[in-house]
Every structure is written in C-alpha cells, then in structure tokens.
Structure 1
Amino acid sequence: MPASTSVKLNTGAEMPTVGLGTWKSAPGAVEHAVEYALKNGYKHIDTAAAYKNESEVGQGIAASGVPRGSIFLTTKLDNPDQKEAAQALESSLKNLGTDYLDLWLMHWPAPMTKDTPALADKTHDWLDTWKDMEKLFKAHPDKLKAIGVSNFSVEFLERLLAVATVVPAVNQIEMHPSCPAEDVLEFCRSKGIVVTAYSPLGSDNSPLLTNEIVKKLADKYSVQPANILISLQANKPGVTVLPKSVTNSRILSNANIVDLTEEEIAELQAIDKMQHFRACHPSWTGWGSLGFPDCKDL
C-alpha cells in the first residue's frame, strides 16, 4: 500500500503526510532545522506555544525563502491559555511571523492555571475552550484555515463531538508500534478526522530502534530503523507523521518513506503485544491519564 504524500482534511485542504516536529528540539537549533527542512522539500512544520520555540520556527520559515503559501503550519493552544484563546491565537501569529495558521490545535483537554501551569484549573471546562476556538475559526477564516485537537482519547472525542458545531480536522496523538492507539485511529477515521502521529520512533534512544522486527525490515529496504517506524505511520490511510530532528542528515533521511506491505504493517503493529510504552504520559495534578491506557513511561 503505497504511502501518500498528503492527506485531505475535512476542510478540503491537503496536509502533507510527513512534517518536521519540533517538540524537545534544543533552543537555538530549531531555526536552522526548520530552514533546512523547508529548503530540502519539507512542506509541513509543527510547533506549539508550550514548546517555547514559535519565534524560532517563524525565523526559520522566513530564512528558508519558501513562500508561506507552500507551507502547512501547525501550532497549538497552551493549557494555561484556554480561558484566553483569542489572545493566545494573536500571540502565536505574532511569534510565528505569519498572518494565518493552517491548523490550530487544543494541545490537551486539560485547562491549567496561569500561576501554577502544572495544576489543573477546575474552574474552566475544556469544552468551552473548543467553543471559543470554533467561534474564532468561523469569524476569522483568514487567520484559521482549520482547527483540531491533540492528545484526545476516544472518550474525550466523544464528549467533544456531542457538543461541537465544527468537527476537528485533526487529532494529534503519540503513535508508534509500542503505542498503536488503534482505537483512537479507528474512531477518528469513522468521523473524518485525520490523525497526526507524534513521537513515531517512540522517543530519543527508543528501544524500537533496536527491535529485531524493525531492524529486519530496515535491512530489507536498505534504510535506517527510523525510516521503517516513520513509514509505518505514513502507510496508514488518513495519517500524517511528525519525525523530529535538528540534524541535517537525519532531517533528510526521515523524509525517505518506503512502501510497506500489509503483512509488514501487521508485523510492526504486533510489537505492542511484546513491548508497550508511551513517551508522553500525562501526570499533571488533577488530570491523571486523561483516559489513555495506563502504560510505562520511557
């Protein structure tokens, strides 16, 4: 099943399948990574207010010389800003040096307090945040091309869809062979929601990179184990994927997608039965696991 180069959102827009992720990228390295990625064929860049690198991402976009209209740019509403969505949107636009976002996501269904960002704000309902995002999306189509969510389990998606007037275009979640999130993927497909996979390698120094199944397929296709893990997500219908790197050679390599067979995809997905973990496991005070399966952190 050949991997797609883009996936169509429920807005009709095309989202490039492979994007550059910037979570955990070292300060001072993000600008170069974004510039280099864009100059070498990437068209999809992902960041978030919580990453504290929107300005660097914007500088990298400007330095690349690639026209803004050729770039799919995603950022996210930070948890402590959920009561002030409109102001947060303007801040992200300013930091990124852009007039519009291709996609704006609610980072987590977990409002946090301004004074103590690790503490849940029980005075605010994240469903009200979504309603505010819907209003901004409808009122400012010049600024927001699409809205969506991130880190939503099926339970939270069901609660959102029960009141939403806009179906999220995307749900960005951790997804790799040791955290396949198949229930979330199938639910999103049934609702026309694209899934974006972050941490497709598991994490830095992930045990997946030395997994025998991954290594076997890497040898077969003469690529790196990382390519197999990224390709796994790119081969799934309705899925986009965000490999992260600030190293030139890896940025180039990560874009090398191979077409996996259905049997190979099933073999990779079965790794979950032997080795299950999540790289990003929420444990903030007052929110717990947000409905995701309880599994070991790396």
Structure 2
Amino acid sequence: MTKTVNLPGGTALPLIGFGTWQLRPKTAYESVRAALEIGYRHIDTATLYQNESDVGRAVKDSDLDREQVFVTTKLRPQDARHARRTLESSLRLLNTGYVDLWLIHWPTGQDELVSTWQELLSAKDAGLVRNVGVSNYSPVQIDLLTKSSGQQPAVNQIPWSPAQHDPALLEEHRRRGVVVEGYSGLKNTDLRNPVLTEIARRHQVTSAQVVLRWHLEHDIVILPRSSRRERIATNYELESFHLAPEDITAIDSLTRIG
C-alpha cells in the first residue's frame, strides 16, 4: 500500500504518482493501465498533455472504483478566462464527475493570478474538484492567493531533483502547509553519478530507485513517467529499502542551489 499524505480537506494523496507528460494517446492508455495493475493509485495529467481521454479510459477499464484512484489535471494559464468550461471539458474527456486535484499549470499574468484562483475555488465549491492547487508558483505568489481568498493551495507541483534540492524552499512550503509534488526528478539527474551508483549498489536497486526513494524520505510526492512496463514497475517498488541518514545527506549535497 502506497504511503499517503493528507491534504487540508482530508483527502489522502498517494506519495507515488504516475506522470503522463508526453505520453501520446495509445501509449498513455497502455501505460496508465499498466501503472494501475502494478499498484499506482495516483495519476497525473493535464489539458496541455492532450491525453485526458486516454487516461480516463484507462482508469475506467481498470475495474477499480473511481474513488480508489487519485486523478489530477491542470489548467493552462491561457485558458484562465474560461476556466470552468475548460474543466468541464476535462471532466468529459476523463469521463468522471470530478477530479481529485486541479492545478493551475503555471502562473498567469499578475492581473489574473487572483481571479484564476477564485475560479478554482468556485469549482471546488461546486463539487467538480476535491482539492485545488498550483504548479510552478513561488511562495510569494502562493501567499498572494492565500491572502486574497483566505484559502491556500493544497499543493505546489515544482521541478525537484538532487541537483535542485532547496531545503529553504521546502521549509517555506512546510511552514504554509502546502504539499510539494516534485516533477522531472529523474530527467534532471545524472543517474551515473558515483554517489547514486554507490548507494544503489549497496541497496541492490537502481540509481533511479535511489533518487525516487530520496524524494519520499523528504515527503515529496513523486510523478515518475515511463512507457515501459518494467520501468513503471521498478519506479513503484520503493518500499523494499530505506536510505540511511548519511545516504540522504550525501544525495542532498548534490544540489547546485546555494
């Protein structure tokens, strides 16, 4: 059973999610089906990805109850002025009455930041989404949304990897109670780095598994993506080992920030 983190409304968000960026229709369907069979219960898509209907079909064909799968989609900033219509289109494509999390994919222009956030909150009030959040936002932008509405984003989805590890930024989110979802953690990492290969050798796992486990040790949600079933499986198999404190420190030290 995948470890979860509770969002402010009480929804359990699985720490291991399956990303679908750049997965074209047939591949998206087959990969999501494989992920759900392997045990993933958190699927991440977006309007931008143009694969919502394939993701939705895969969830439906999995024979899992809809409530068992946490589904995220995202709103492109250029769709902000007709956000509700875009969401309704996403729901039709996903073939579901609600999504578990709806994110603004990246910040809109300054003059639309608050109004777009209000649209997300309105959709939540209408029961079309269970949780709302943002992606690629700074703590300052998050504070602006919170101050304007009295409700803060549940999640901020941002790039995260050993090279981008920023303890101060992580603490800024923790202090606000905003869950960090890290994306492109493997893409932005040199998996042949000796620090990673040595830790992987000791634990008899892959360097990719070490990086993903490192995210989990920091309670950062991961969204690995692959179209190969064996890779989808190994990216999920992270409970058989734990990193020692010195392993975590060594990986933390790979950061290029600061």
Q: What TM-score comes out, normalization by structure 1 length?
A: 0.81
Q: Any idea what the Cα deviations from partners look like across 1:22-75, whole Å, max 9, x if unmatched? A: 112244200001011111111000001011111111111122121111000000
Kindly indicate whether the alpha-carbon contact (under 8 Å) linking 1:36 and 1:64 is maintained by their aligned counterparts in 2: no
Matched, 1:261 2:244: yes
Ranges in structure 2 where 5+ consecutive residues have no aligned partner: none
Kindly indicate whether the alpha-carbon contact (under 8 Å) linking 2:28 and 2:54 is maintained by their aligned counterparts in 1: yes
- Distance 1:181-1:152 versus aligned 2 partners, 3 A rule: farther
Which letter maps to 1:245? S
2:252 is paired with a residue whose SS is helix
Moved over 4 A (4+): none
Offset of 1:155 from its aligned partner?
2.5
Match of 1:186 in 2: 171
Match of 2:159 in 1: 174
Kindly indicate whether the alpha-carbon contact (under 8 Å) linking 1:39 and 1:66 is maintained by their aligned counterparts in 2: no
Offset of 1:212 from its aligned partner?
0.8
Provide the C-alpha distance between the structure 2 equivalents of 1:51 and 1:263, rounded to a whole number of angstroms: 38
Kindly indicate whether the alpha-carbon contact (under 8 Å) linking 2:166 and 2:255 is maintained by their aligned counterparts in 1: no
Give the alignment partner of residue 165 of structure 1, picking from 120, 141, 150. Answer: 150
Offset of 1:262 from its aligned partner?
2.1
Match of 1:288 in 2: none
Q: Any idea what the Cα deviations from partners look like across 1:98-134, whole Å, max 9, x if unmatched? A: 11111100111125xxxxxxxxxx7x51221001111
Matched, 1:226 2:224: no
Match of 1:80 in 2: 78
Which letter maps to 2:124? F
1:178 is paired with a residue whose SS is helix
Identity %: 34
Q: Any idea what the Cα deviations from partners look like across 1:163-221, whole Å, max 9, x if unmatched? A: 132211111111010111433321111111111111121x1xx5521111111111111
Match of 1:270 in 2: 253
Q: What TM-score comes out, normalization by structure 2 length?
A: 0.94
Kindly indicate whether the alpha-carbon contact (under 8 Å) linking 1:195 and 1:240 is maintained by their aligned counterparts in 2: yes
Greater relative contact order (Cα < 8 A, sep 6+)? 1
Matched, 1:197 2:182: yes
Provide the C-alpha distance between the structure 2 equivalents of 1:183 and 1:132, rounded to a whole number of angstroms: 30
1:209 is paired with a residue whose SS is coil
1:250 is paired with a residue whose SS is helix
Provide the C-alpha distance between the structure 2 equivalents of 1:225 and 1:148, rounded to a whole number of angstroms: 31
Provide the C-alpha distance between the structure 1 equivalents of 2:169 and 2:84, rounded to a whole number of angstroms: 29
Match of 2:35 in 1: 37
Match of 1:285 in 2: none
Which letter maps to 1:264? D
2:254 is paired with a residue whose SS is helix
Matched, 1:130 2:113: no
Ranges in structure 1 where 5+ consecutive residues have no aligned partner: 112-121, 277-292, 294-298
Match of 2:135 in 1: 150
Larger helix share, 1 or 2 = 2
Provide the C-alpha distance between the structure 2 equivalents of 1:181 and 1:251, rounded to a whole number of angstroms: 27
Matched, 1:100 2:82: no
Match of 2:15 in 1: 17
Match of 2:217 in 1: 235
Offset of 1:266 from its aligned partner?
1.5
Kindly indicate whether the alpha-carbon contact (under 8 Å) linking 2:27 and 2:227 is maintained by their aligned counterparts in 1: yes
